[in-house]
Structure 1
């Protein structure tokens, strides 16, 4: 009939389709007639026939058509229960097939590492060890070898000591210092630490560990800028330990080039390993001066190299050379075989230099790598380089760090303190200026890695309370040199200390081989306080030796001058010398009592007081409250002490000048050895009285031969104490019964007891009076308190005149409403 458009039979429009057979199920009718189907026959009819067969929108649930076709005419056939089972089987088979293919084609399960912190060290037999030189430290803290093993996302560390780890009652700490070369971290000698992993223990057992991250601080000596990140797996047995760090602790990506260093710390000494990296191999360099005067071309500096684990190629050295002349270095590159040493020299040719010229040469860095791969390795440099004069050294004392002009020195014994604060020699020289010299057992101003020492937590008193937390303050593991000066032994101006009356103090602080601060102080008699002095202190120190110069105008010294040298570490433990004179002179030290207590132990009389004080932490509740008292003190604290014999009580008021903050955990203590028999542990006759800021709690303790225990029922029930923060500092006031001070000797006119004042500032800083180093658990470290033998009235008359001077400042402040 042809394909054309039009009207009539060949082109019906909107004709009824509802009259058609229901089997056709045409919906909506024909559009534009039979010959005018939309989209033609190829794509089927709209809402009608589709592809000639598959009708759309047919009847459902009436006749049973789907898509216009009867169910049994569907090309898929009838859906029976067997079809459902077949489908389920196919689904299960598909899942199994995916699991099998995943196992065959996927990544294999990781194999557990053989390096575990389990106390079985056999896996380390296949790992090369780094050797560490024998240190002057206890065997339990002397690291002799160590090793590292790196895996993806894991670092295993092993160490071996000369003796069993953590032996004895004192704690020992092991530190892994981790340096990220891309950032500046916490300062350690020759190293920066961005992370620290540390282990600690005592009693032959590992007690704990921690992992910390440096969060950044412009003050790179401030240890409070570390953040705790948790713990890690660790184990120790005998002289060996091992532990594991993972990516959960820090990013161990090899591309970071992390550097590692192990260090140990015991109560008295420390040890540090060579620096190693993420690869195998390391180089150490020990430099040593071999000349202090050079007249012609000569060796100036010995360079001793040692290769560890791998053959090392040394490509170059960086040298700080000052003063002129020609410094000739070895020819590079140099190869040092693994485990062997090679000695080279830096040679000085003084060409062009005049007599007296001063030359300095020190290696500050080295460029080295593994010989076979040329991959960089860390270099650990020891020693301070060389200093030398050309032709001749100048006459007289010069602060140059050579120390050859200190031929006459005073000797000091080897004491049981950290080597860096154990004074072995000291001297004072007067020329146009004042010169001072000190030699310590260990490296001068070495400080500590961290200002902490792990100890067992003491058992609190049953009635004790836990102080509220306080904000962290700066804490640095510094060493402090103080030189107490009595400018004239013929006067009494100043503070009694170590057998002199000091009216000047020189102070130098530092750590990690660096000076952090230097200062002078002068005693202000009218204000009864130390004022900062003017003028600079010229200093030099190398290794274990220190020398300093102070202009004569600052000290005004004479042949009547005397000095006492002290050195303390961050915990205030340290050493003090006997008094030093610029030339042979009679001793002016006070008589020593026997048995000897603390080093340079101090003594104080307990004269009768004109009035009975009110114990309220004020120390001047009414005028002349402590009239008649004896006074003692130092840079950190001072106190007044006296008795009321008629009621048999001792009264003590302590003022802590070095505590300008009102902390909840400030605490003051008085220590008494009532039978004056000393000892290494608190005995039954020993007493300790402690009071917190605010006056509560007040604790009373007695020794039991090992520790302090509550002495309620034994100590005088009339004892009392109070602690108050006022006028910008802490005050502690005590009333203690005679029997808890002098015990069975309390009725004797010349009764003598061990005595010390011990203060804790903010739970961190420690201050004391009684000896150079006071330990509240060591009666042998205390000073003395005694009842004066001569008539009381004469003593009272002599001391009443002193009290207005000592306490004048507080009366003046109190009058202003302090």
Structure 2
């Protein structure tokens, strides 16, 4: 038959079918598979001689296969009985000393002819022993398959990996089992082991012990009810006697058993009912009572089946209850983080204006059913006496900055928002981003379940989100009071990989640079684990790493120096990437400068050295938030109008959380809510009065003849640029 190798799953399915034949273990089933047989139907169609010629099968197993299909095994030669094991001298096959006359009942119990018989329960012919290794393998795999969720393929993998008992599985770690039978199989094994009592063995039924007097009384009743047959033992009774005494025909008994089996001639042995020995049966030299075998065997089988069904039902009930009571998480949400031992934690030592929002440590635990989180502050958390303290956790489900809400260089699909004051939590919500514009903060919608608890300076909670591919999360905490907002952004995002490298860049060059000038200072901080850094790439600059490995929470600062570039051209200097074994988060500000010398005239290119010769106006600092606190301004109007502005913070940075958190009103007015697009933009406007009529007393309403230029931006990028023209006080678009 042609050999057609299938997949491992197909092979295991075929082997499972073949082992249904009594007497065929996995090793013999493999022989049939290697010979090209792929189904029981193919075995049924094969002739006895074809099967017997397969290496490792032979006539014995061929006979078993044919009898399984109800066929007689015929070949060109008579069937040969398997040779019994060689017996020690001085004993015959009946377990009686040489030279001793066999008991008459035992003589009568011998079969008339040495006809080969096959024991159906064992699956092998009487007198033929299965291969020890094969028998052991079948037993062990059968034991493993009793574990709920472990089928034949998993059981075979465990056996091939060297496991030989459930106790060995109990001692194996979850990680070791996961490598062999994947996460599903490992979980099934550990769940099964947890509900097993230490003294119990899987698959073993406990027997109820009866008092000796009750057993004796039952034996006497059965003896009175069972008719005796003089001179011969029925074949079924003979087999029953062998099973009761634990000795198989053709197997040499233990020496101590031999002494028990010897029957002295000179003395009659009495039983409990005082019957002489000649009236008792003798099977293989062992004495036994004669009973009605058919009814007794039927009763015993019924008991075994009943006990098996009850055991399965009890075990299934235990498993169901165990799963129902199984906790969802390894951590308990109570504001105490002692049960977070072993979970990497992130430290943050950046500045915050208030201790109640100054997050110093935080982490997340990503589990199958939910994501747990905690944050620890320098002072008591949610302690605002006026205003509102709020914790925001933005979760990027796929580590893709182009999907979800744009914040801190991430694209967040989910958000946790917890607000409180007076040392209490007053609201907790989970939301999902549904907008098409990734800057629209109004596109958050309520989603799922969230819970949080606080204790002193710790808030702990969870959000129920299904399995995420490559999640990352950023923590932000704010205090809002009288329309003023103070916030702290934790620099390191949390991920299941935990080890994170935070790269903070700061542009330190002037408007014009030369080769070798320092253009960026770069801080490298390892969080929640050690980090190995291979290289850093900076546009138009070189970086020399003096240290390649950082311990957890270690920080170093390196410098980027300008390369040799073309003179008179503006170049941007920014960190483009880091070759490392950790999650990388790049933050801070890059910058642009001219190399060598600025160009002649004003050029719109993001560098500002070409404004050095232009007189600029100045404004005082500290009278507005930094990102809109104007420091310098200038204009150059000829054929074209050019303008220049510089702020104390970042130009057109916008607001990533463009809402003001407030306490609920005592009697709120409930009405329809109209959600308008909220992009959190910064707006810069330039008014040009061609008549110079409003100098020093400017009011936009007084603009009679000129232009209005308006820029809108977010995250340092211009989103729109518009200009309007006024004539005689009327706007001309």
Give the TM-score of the pair, scaled to structure 1. 0.45
**Partner-residue secondary structure (3-state), 1:383:** strand
Matching residue of 1:193:
412
Partner of 2:657: 450
For 1:133 and 1:485, the matched residues in 2 are separated by: 46
Q: Which residue of 1 aligns with 2:568?
A: 356
The question of whether the paired residues in 2 share the 8 Å contact of 1:315 and 1:332 is answered with no
The answer to whether the 8 A contact 1:305-1:341 is kept is yes
Alignment match, 2:622? 414
Alignment partner of 1:176 is 2:389:
no
Aligned to 1:251: 466
Distance 1:491 1:336 in 2: 60
Query: How many Å separate the matches in 2 of 1:410 and 1:152?
Result: 57
How far apart, in 1, do the equivalents of 2:561 and 2:498 lie? 32
What is the SS of the residue equivalent to 1:270? strand
State the SS of the aligned residue for 2:662. Answer: coil
- Aligned twin of 1:343: 557
Q: 2: CA distance between counterparts of 1:224 and 1:266? A: 20
Mapping for residues 531-680 of structure 1, pairs under 5 Å: 531-532=732-733
Give the match for residue 598 of structure 2. Answer: 393
Unaligned ranges ≥5, structure 2: 1-299
Q: What does residue 545 of structure 1 align with?
A: none
Q: CA deviation at 1:489?
A: 4.4
SS at match of 2:656: coil
Residue number in structure 2 paired with 1:271? 488
Distance 1:163 1:303 in 2: 30
The whole-number CA distance in structure 2 between the counterparts of 1:113 and 1:500 is 65
Aligned CA distance change for structure 1 residues 194 and 113 (closer, same or farther; 3 Å):
closer
Cα offset, 1:486, TM superposition: 4.0
Match of 1:145 in 2: 361
Query: How much does 1:332 deviate?
Result: 11
1:119 — aligned with what?
A: 335
Any conservation in 2 of the 1:197–1:210 contact (CA below 8 Å)?
Answer: yes
Please tell me whether residue 505 in structure 1 is matched to residue 712 in structure 2: no
* Match runs of 1:102-113 below 5 Å: 102=316, 110-111=326-327, 113=329
Q: Write the distance in 1 (CA, Å) between the matches of 2:633 and 2:575.
A: 31
> Partners in 2 of 1:358 and 1:391 — Cα distance?
10
Give the whole-Å Cα distance in 2 for the aligned partners of 1:133 and 1:438: 33
Q: CA deviation at 1:396?
A: 6.5
2:724 paired with 1:521: yes
By percentage of residues, which structure has more strand? Answer: 1
Contact 2:448 2:463 in 1 (8 A): no
Corresponding position: 1:426 with 2:632: yes
Aligned pairs for 1:789-800 (under 5 A) are none
**CA distance change for structure 1 residues 503 and 390 in 2, over 3 Å: closer, same or farther?**
closer
Q: Report the Cα offset of residue 386 of structure 1.
A: 4.3
Deviations 1:712-738 (Å, cap 9, x if unpaired)?
xxxxxxxxxxxxxxxxxxxxxxxxxxx
Q: CA deviation at 1:519?
A: 1.5
Deviation of 1:147 (Å): 1.5
Partner of 1:603: none
User: Equivalent of 1:288, from 500, 506, 528?
Assistant: 506
Structure 1 residues 53-103: Cα deviation after superposition (integer angstroms, max 9, x where no partner): xxxxxxxxxxxxxxxxxxxxxxxxxxxxxxxxx999999977753344347
The answer to whether the Cα contact below 8 Å between 1:313 and 1:333 also exists between their aligned partners in 2 is no
Mapped contact 2:653–2:713 kept (Cα < 8 A): yes
CA distance in structure 1 between the aligned counterparts of 2:584 and 2:467, rounded to whole angstroms: 21
> Is the CA contact 1:489–1:500 (under 8 Å) kept in the aligned structure 2?
no
SS state of the match for residue 520, structure 1?
strand
State the distance in 2 between where 1:431 and 1:504 align: 12
Equivalent position to 1:155, from 344, 352, 371: 371
Higher-helix-fraction structure: 2
**What are the residue-to-residue correspondences of 1:438-517 with 2, within 5 Å?**
438-460=645-667, 466-470=670-674, 472-490=675-693, 496-497=699-700, 504-517=707-720
CA contact (8 A) 2:391 2:417 kept: yes
Residues 159-168 or 91-100, more deviating? 91-100
Match of 1:212 in 2: 431
Offset at 1:497? 4.7
Contact conserved, 1:158 with 1:242, CA < 8 A, in 2?
yes
Are residues 227 and 122 of structure 1, via their aligned partners in 2, closer, same or farther at CA, if it must alter by over 3 Å? same
CA distance 1:310–1:468, change in 2 (3 Å): closer
**Structure-2 change in CA distance of 1:414 and 1:448 (3 Å):** same
Report how far residue 258 of structure 1 moved.
0.9
For residues 427 and 498 of structure 1, what CA distance do their matches in structure 2 show?
Answer: 22
Q: CA RMSD in A?
A: 3.9
Asked if residue 368 in structure 1 is aligned to residue 580 in structure 2, the reply is yes
CA contact (8 A) 1:414 1:424 kept: no
- Residue 12 of structure 2 aligns with which residue? none
Displacement after TM superposition at 1:341 (Å): 2.3
Matched, 1:234 2:441: no
Task: Please give the per-residue CA displacement for 1:223-280, whole angstroms capped at 9, x wherever unaligned.
Answer: 233321144111234432111123xxx2234xx1111111223332332222231122
1:304 to 484, 508, 523: 523
**Contact 1:428/1:434 (CA < 8 Å) preserved in 2?**
no
Distance in 2, matches of 1:498 and 1:420, equals: 26
**1:429/1:448 Cα in 2 relative to 1: closer, same or farther (>3 Å)?**
closer
CA drift of 1:116 comes to: 2.6
User: Matched residues in 2 for 1:486 and 1:195: separation?
Assistant: 47
Partner of 2:548: 334
The 3 A distance-change label for structure 1 pair 234 and 484 is: farther
Corresponding position of 2:65: none
- Tell me how far 1:502 sits from its aligned partner: 9.1
Separation in 2, partners of 1:168, 1:278:
36
> Is 1:101 paired with 2:315?
yes
Q: Which residue of 2 aligns with 1:692?
A: none
- Tell me if the contact between 1:186 and 1:223 (Cα under 8 Å) persists in the aligned partners: yes
Counterpart in the other structure of 1:748: none
Aligned pairs for 1:716-735 (under 5 A) are: none
Structure 1 443/142 Cα, relative in aligned 2: closer, same or farther at 3 Å?
farther
Given the superposition, is the C-alpha separation of residues 194 and 496 from structure 1 closer, same or farther in structure 2, using an over 3 Å criterion?
same
How far did 1:298 drift? 4.3
Shift of 1:312: 1.0
Tell me: CA distance 1:229–1:203, structure 2 relative to 1, closer, same or farther (3 Å). Answer: same
The alpha-carbon distance between structure 1 residues 328 and 447, as it changes in their structure 2 partners (threshold 3 A), is: closer
Question: In 2, are the aligned partners of 1:495 and 1:501 still within 8 Å (CA)?
Answer: no
Q: Is the 8 A contact 2:524 2:555 kept in 1?
A: yes
Q: TM-score, normalised by structure 2?
A: 0.50
- Cα gap change, 1:132 to 1:488, in 2 (>3 Å): farther
Q: Closer, same or farther in 2 for the Cα pair 1:258/1:159, shift >3 Å?
A: same
SS in 1 for 2:311: helix
Aligned twin of 2:474? 261
